[in-house]
């Protein structure tokens, strides 16, 4: 029980330290992308859109694309494989999206693995959020 309380306290402290808006998460990805690649010249909503709509099909057979669960229209609700509703990914309809770094990282990790069979790159993640901010 003590352990649970302790972990909760750490999680709460981390949440307080975590930036609470999408643009600061993007700033972090931007810094990271610059470090990884000196010729990086900014995220692209166009590339993010293409990434979102592409049938990658290099991960699990039942999830060839991000759209397999999130649909082709980011302003619409999606569906999990188990049939549970997923709130839209577009920032215009879900303003609380991309505001919790741990949540963002957790789902990129899971979903990129399912769809691509690998982690998403920093540029893919930044492009994706940049696109969703325009939606
Ligand atoms: C198997 C179904 C499924 C697929 C395929 C999928 N997602 Fe998701 N995604 C979810 C679920 C479930 C959530 C968490 C529920 C929620 O946030 O509403 C989520 C949440 C997210 C979030 C968190 C957003 C936030 O609130 O901060 C991101 C980012 C995300 N997905 C990106 C992607 C990307 C990129 C792809 C394609 C590479 C993808 N997803 C493919 C089911 C899926």
Tens of pLDDT, residue by residue over 80-123, are 999 999 999 999 999 999 999 999 999 999 999 999 999 999 99
Quick one: which atom of ligand 1 is closest to the CA of 96? Answer: 26
Nearest atom within ligand 1 for CA of residue 132: 29
Q: How far is the CA of 1 from the centre of ligand 1 (A)?
A: 32
pTM of the model as a whole: 0.87
Measured at the alpha carbon of residue 83, what is the angle toward residues 82 and 89, in degrees to the nearest 5? 110
The pLDDT score that the predictor gives to residue 23 is 81
Q: How many domains is the chain partitioned into structurally?
A: 1
Q: Which of 68, 55, 48, 70 is closest to 129 using CA atoms? A: 48
Binned at pLDDT 50, 70 and 90, residue 128 comes out as: very high
Query: Does 12 reside within a domain?
Result: no
Q: Which domain holds residue 31?
A: 20-133
Positive or negative, the CA dihedral 126, 27, 39, 133 is: positive
Indicate whether 112 belongs to any domain. yes
| pLDDT of res. 18 | 46
How far does the centroid of ligand 1 lie from the alpha carbon of residue 92, in Å?
A: 17
With CA atoms as reference, report the closest residue to 23 among 131, 129, 135, 114. Answer: 129
């Amino acid at each position: 029980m003590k352990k649970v309380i302790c972990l909760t306290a750490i999680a709460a402290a981390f949440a307080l330290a975590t930036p609470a808006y999408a643009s600061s998460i993007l700033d972090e990805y931007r810094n990271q992308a610059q470090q990884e690649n000196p010729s990086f010249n900014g995220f692209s909503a166009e590339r993010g859109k293409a990434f979102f709509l592409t049938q990658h099909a290099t991960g699990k057979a039942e999830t060839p694309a991000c759209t397999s669960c999130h649909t082709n229209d980011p302003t619409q609700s999606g569906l999990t494989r188990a049939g549970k509703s997923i709130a839209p990914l577009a920032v215009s309809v879900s303003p609380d999206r991309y505001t919790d770094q741990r949540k963002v990282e957790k789902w990129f990790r899971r979903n990129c693995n399912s769809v691509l069979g690998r982690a998403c790159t920093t540029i893919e993640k930044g492009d994706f959020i940049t696109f969703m901010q325009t939606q």
